[in-house]
């Protein structure tokens, strides 16, 4: 939790603050006392827009709307924010959408990232920056062990390939312009994230929730595909830690995997089983292959680097992650105070970090 103290009074620019992960990160930064500026398009789904309204975070930060593909608009946001810390989350994040809209995906994920990096390069205030990519940046060989940060980058589909390109762009800027340590720039390659507030199409848990709410059978496309699932607070806590720690130690800049323990890398079918058990009410799923485009069968991350160098380890395992997601979704459907619910989950997660730290110091 000492990492959060770093953000008190800091000027932070967060791209993608209207997205699923972005709105959670905005709440964490506000909770830490940061002066937050968000830059993003409107939330892409009606549920996402409603979540932002019910959470109320947009009223507590500078809410700037724009597209990272628009370099001028992004430059104006940087000028307004004068950020000391930058988190770049804005992206086209859906694999299947990338097959339908490859040009838009590459434009947002590659050139959008380059525009952010260029604004950082020309900024007189940025000290620490983190570019968020994905576990899918690696050349997927369908092997049963996790990919390490030094494995080849070669994403298959347009989304994954665009994120591989974003990694290369960040590496180039780090070597070409930030080698003197003036700006500390890292990338974070996160696994599959679940949690309350995700209303995206073509994602397993949002699809499960939509079906359960309507009393329908859940359709699962690829029940035997294995993914590194984790609750949204897991990678976000790492993002906050990385940006804070690298600001103090330039040796920490680089690429970092952020994923669950091996036991939490489960098949989509196993994840759906957990969801059905947690939701109750007789919810069940069936496999219905739809002949869609290629998606990786087996994907896992090796997170030994961040565990050994920064002492990080996951807090909520897969059952807890699904339980917290179901808890949030049911509260949403009941019309509950979602800011209070979200803050309660953040507090519970934070308390586990504190208790874990106290045990390690005994």
pLDDT per residue as tens digits for the range 204-254: 999 999 999 999 999 998 999 999 999 999 999 999 999 999 999 999 999
Name the band, by pLDDT with cuts 50, 70 and 90, for residue 356. low
pLDDT at residue 362 tops 80: no
**CA–CA gap between residue 251 and residue 264 (Å, rounded):** 30
Dihedrals phi, psi of 186, to nearest 5 degrees = -130, 165
pLDDT at residue 121 tops 60: yes
Q: Which helix (H) or strand (E) holds 75?
A: helix 71-81
pLDDT of residue 293: 83
- Those residues whose C-beta lies under 8 Å from the C-beta of residue 186, and which sit 6 or more positions away, are 129, 130, 131, 242, 243, 246, 252, 253, 254, 255, 256
The stretch 19-34 carries a mean pLDDT of: 97
Tens digit of each residue's pLDDT (9 = 90 or more) over 265-276: 999 999 999 999
The stretch 1-15 carries a mean pLDDT of: 90
Per-domain residue ranges for the chain?
Answer: 2-289+299-354
pLDDT of residue 331: 98
The stretch 126-141 carries a mean pLDDT of: 97
- Asked if residues 161 and 121 have their Cβ atoms less than 8 Å apart, the reply is no
Q: Is the pTM of this model over 0.85?
A: yes
Q: Are strands 184-190 and 11-15 parallel, antiparallel or unpaired?
A: unpaired
Instruction: Return the DSSP state at 55.
Output: H
**CA–CA gap between residue 348 and residue 359 (Å, rounded):** 17
**CA–CA gap between residue 203 and residue 228 (Å, rounded):** 14
Fold exhibited by the domain 2-289+299-354: Rossmann fold (3.40.50)
CA angle 333, 338, 343 (to 5 degrees): 140
pLDDT of residue 359: 62
- Give bridge partners of residue 147 from the DSSP assignment: 301
- Asked if residues 228 and 172 have their Cβ atoms less than 8 Å apart, the reply is no
- Asked if residues 12 and 33 have their Cβ atoms less than 8 Å apart, the reply is no
- Those residues whose C-beta lies under 8 Å from the C-beta of residue 79, and which sit 6 or more positions away, are none
Tens digit of each residue's pLDDT (9 = 90 or more) over 285-335: 999 887 678 777 899 999 999 999 999 999 999 999 999 999 999 999 999
**CA–CA gap between residue 136 and residue 259 (Å, rounded):** 12
For residue 141 the two structure tokens come to 């060989």
pLDDT of residue 297: 84
Q: What is the mean pLDDT of the chain?
A: 95
pLDDT at residue 147 tops 60: yes
């Amino acid at each position: 939790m000492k990492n959060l103290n770093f953000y008190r009074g800091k000027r932070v620019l967060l791209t993608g603050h209207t997205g699923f992960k972005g709105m959670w990160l905005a709440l964490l930064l506000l909770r830490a006392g940061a002066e937050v500026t968000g830059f993003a398009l409107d939330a892409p789904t009606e549920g996402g827009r409603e979540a932002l309204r019910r959470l109320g975070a947009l009223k507590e930060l500078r809410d700037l709307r724009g597209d990272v593909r628009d370099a001028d608009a992004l430059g104006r946001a940087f000028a307004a924010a004068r950020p000391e810390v930058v988190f770049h989350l804005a992206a086209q994040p859906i694999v299947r959408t990338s097959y339908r809209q490859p040009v838009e995906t590459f434009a947002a994920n590659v050139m959008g990232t380059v525009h952010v990096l260029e604004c950082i390069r020309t900024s007189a205030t940025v000290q620490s920056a983190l570019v968020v990519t994905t576990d899918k940046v690696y050349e997927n060989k369908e092997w049963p062990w996790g990919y390490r940060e030094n494995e080849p980058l070669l994403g298959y589909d347009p989304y994954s390939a665009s994120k591989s390109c974003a990694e290369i762009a960040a590496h180039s800027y780090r070597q070409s312009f930030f080698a003197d340590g003036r700006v500390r720039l890292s990338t974070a390659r996160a696994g599959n994230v679940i949690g309350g507030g995700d209303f995206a199409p073509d994602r397993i848990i949002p699809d499960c929730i939509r079906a359960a709410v309507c009393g329908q059978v859940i359709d699962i496309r690829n029940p035997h595909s294995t993914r590194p699932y984790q609750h949204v607070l897991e990678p976000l806590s790492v993002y906050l830690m990385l940006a804070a720690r690298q600001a103090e130690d330039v040796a920490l800049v680089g690429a970092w995997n952020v994923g669950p323990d091996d036991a939490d890398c489960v098949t989509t079918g196993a994840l759906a089983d957990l969801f059905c058990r947690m939701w109750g009410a007789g919810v069940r799923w069936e496999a219905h292959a739809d002949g869609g485009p290629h998606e990786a069968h087996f994907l896992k991350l090796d997170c030994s680097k961040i565990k050994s160098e920064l002492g990080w380890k996951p807090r909520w395992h897969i059952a807890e992650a699904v339980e917290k997601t179901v808890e949030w979704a049911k509260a949403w459907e009941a019309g509950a105070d979602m800011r209070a619910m979200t803050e309660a989950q953040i507090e519970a997660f934070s308390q586990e970090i504190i208790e874990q730290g106290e045990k390690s110091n005994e």
